[in-house]
C-alpha cells in the first residue's frame, strides 16, 4: 500500500470522524434541559407566544431534518444567528477564533522550543541530578489541572506581586507588544500544562535513538555528548517529536476553554461557555463543531506526518 492510498484513507477517516462529531454535538444540544423558546421569551411567556417562536425557529420540525439543514448550512459557511442577541454567529466566532488562535499560537511558540531543549538537556545528563529534577518537575506539572495552575499563577503574579492583570482584556487599539503582555498569564498556564508531555516524549524519542550503532560510532570519534545529541540523535528522532508537537497544538487550541474561563479571555472557549449558560444552541453547536474540526485536523496532520516520515513507505521495495 503506497503513501497516497494511506493518506487518502486517513483523510476519509477524518471526514467520517467530523461527521460523527457533528451528530454528537447536535444530539447533545438537543437533550439539554429546558426549552429554547421559553429561554428566549422568559418564564412569563404565553403558550401562544412560545408556539409561535418555536415555529419561527423551526423547532417543530423533526430532529433529523433540522440536523441536515444545520449541517448543510454550516458546510456553506452559514453558522446561523445567535438566539440571545440576534448577531451573525460567523462574525462573532471569527473575532473570538482569532483571539483563541493568537493565545494558542503564542503558547506553542513558547512551549515547543523549550520542551525540545529541556528534553535534550535531560538526555545529556541522563540519570543525573538535572535529568531527575526536570523529570520530577514535569511529572508534577502533568498531574496539576489547568485551573489549579492558572489560579496559582494569579495568586502569585497578580495578587502577591501585582505584575499582571488577572483578567485579560484585548481590543483593536492595542499594539502587538501590549497584547503579548496582556496574555502572559494564560500563556504561562498553557505552557506549563503542555510542556511536560512534549519534554518527556522528546527525551524518550532521543533516548531510543541513542542506542543506535551510528551514535556509538559518533561517540567513538570523540564527539562531545551535546554534539552527538543535537547533530546526530535529534534529527533522527524528529518524527515522533513532531507527532507529539502537533497533537499538543491540537490540545492548545481545543483545550483553552478552561484557561479562557479562568482569565475571562475573549476567545471561543469563553464565548461558548457564556452561550451554554444562555442556552443559545446555534452558538454552542457552531463552536463545538469548529473545535471538533480543529482537533481532527491536527490529529489528521499528525497521522500524515507519521506516514510520510516512515522510511519503509517512502522507499518501498
Query: Taking the C-alpha atoms of 106, 111, 112 and 116 in order, what is their torsion angle to the nearest 10 degrees?
Result: 160
Confidence at 54, pLDDT banded by 50, 70, 90: low
pLDDT at 247: 78
- Mean pLDDT rounded to a whole number for the chain: 79
Instruction: Give the chain's end-to-end CA distance (angstroms, integer).
Output: 11
Q: What long-range pairs does 222-228 form, CB within 8 A, spacing at least 24? A: 225/124, 226/124
pLDDT at 64: 84
3-class DSSP state of 81: strand
Whole-model pTM: value is 0.77
pLDDT at 49: 67
Q: Is the pLDDT of residue 262 over 70?
A: yes
Instruction: Say which residue the cell 496559582 belongs to.
Output: 152
Q: CA 232 to CA 166: how far, in whole Å?
A: 44
Q: How many CA atoms lie within 13 A of 293 on its CB side?
A: 11
Burial 128-156 (b: 16+ CB within 10 A, else e): eeebeebbeebeebeeeebeebbeebbee
Residue 108 near residue 186, CB atoms below 8 Å: no
Q: Is the pLDDT of residue 314 over 60?
A: no
Q: Give the pLDDT confidence of 147-187 residue by residue, as tens digits.
A: 888 888 888 888 888 888 888 877 778 888 888 888 888 88
CA 103, distance to chain mean position in Å, is 10
- Domains of the chain listed by start with CATH number: 102-279 (1.10.3720)
Residues in the chain: 317
Residue percentage of the chain with pLDDT more than 90: 1
Confidence at 43, pLDDT banded by 50, 70, 90: low
Closest by Cα among 271, 296, 262, 244 to 100: 271
Residue 270 near residue 260, CB atoms below 8 Å: yes
Confidence at 118, pLDDT banded by 50, 70, 90: confident
Q: Measured between alpha carbons, how far is residue 174 from residues 76, 271, 275 in Å? A: 33, 21, 26
Q: Give the pLDDT confidence of 184-222 residue by residue, as tens digits.
A: 888 888 888 888 878 888 888 777 777 777 666 766 676
Amino acid at each position: 500500500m503506497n503513501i497516497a492510498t494511506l493518506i487518502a484513507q486517513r483523510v476519509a477517516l477524518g471526514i467520517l470522524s467530523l461527521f460523527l462529531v457533528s451528530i454528537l454535538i447536535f444530539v447533545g444540544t438537543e437533550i439539554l434541559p429546558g426549552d429554547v423558546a421559553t429561554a428566549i421569551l422568559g418564564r412569563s411567556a404565553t403558550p401562544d407566544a412560545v408556539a409561535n417562536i418555536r415555529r419561527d425557529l423551526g423547532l417543530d420540525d423533526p430532529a433529523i431534518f433540522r440536523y441536515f439543514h444545520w449541517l448543510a448550512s454550516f458546510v456553506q459557511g452559514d453558522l446561523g444567528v445567535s438566539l440571545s442577541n440576534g448577531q451573525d454567529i460567523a462574525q462573532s466566532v471569527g473575532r473570538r477564533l482569532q483571539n483563541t488562535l493568537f493565545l494558542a499560537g503564542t503558547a506553542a511558540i513558547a512551549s515547543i522550543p523549550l520542551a525540545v531543549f529541556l528534553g535534550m538537556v535531560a538526555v545529556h545528563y541522563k540519570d543525573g541530578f538535572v535529568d531527575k529534577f526536570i523529570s520530577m518537575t514535569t511529572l508534577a506539572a502533568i498531574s496539576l489541572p489547568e485551573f489549579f495552575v492558572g489560579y496559582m499563577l494569579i495568586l502569585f503574579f497578580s495578587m502577591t506581586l501585582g505584575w499582571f492583570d488577572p483578567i485579560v482584556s484585548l481590543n483593536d487599539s492595542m499594539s502587538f507588544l501590549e497584547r503579548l503582555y496582556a496574555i502572559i498569564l494564560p500563556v504561562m498556564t498553557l505552557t506549563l500544562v503542555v510542556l511536560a508531555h512534549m519534554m518527556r516524549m522528546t527525551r524518550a524519542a532521543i533516548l531510543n535513538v541513542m542506542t543506535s550503532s551510528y551514535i556509538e560510532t559518533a561517540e567513538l570519534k570523540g564527539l562531545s555528548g551535546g554534539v552527538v545529541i543535537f547533530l546526530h540523535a535529534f534529527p533522527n528522532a524528529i518524527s515522533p517529536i513532531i507527532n507529539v508537537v502537533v497533537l499538543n497544538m491540537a490540545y492548545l487550541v481545543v483545550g483553552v476553554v478552561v484557561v479562557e474561563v479562568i482569565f475571562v479571555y475573549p476567545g471561543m472557549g469563553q464565548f461558548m461557555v457564556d452561550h451554554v449558560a444562555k442556552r443559545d444552541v446555534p452558538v454552542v453547536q457552531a463552536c463545538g463543531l469548529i473545535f471538533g474540526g480543529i482537533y481532527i485536523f491536527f490529529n489528521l496532520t499528525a497521522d500524515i506526518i507519521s506516514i510520510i516520515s516512515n522510511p519503509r513507505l517512502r522507499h518501498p521495495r
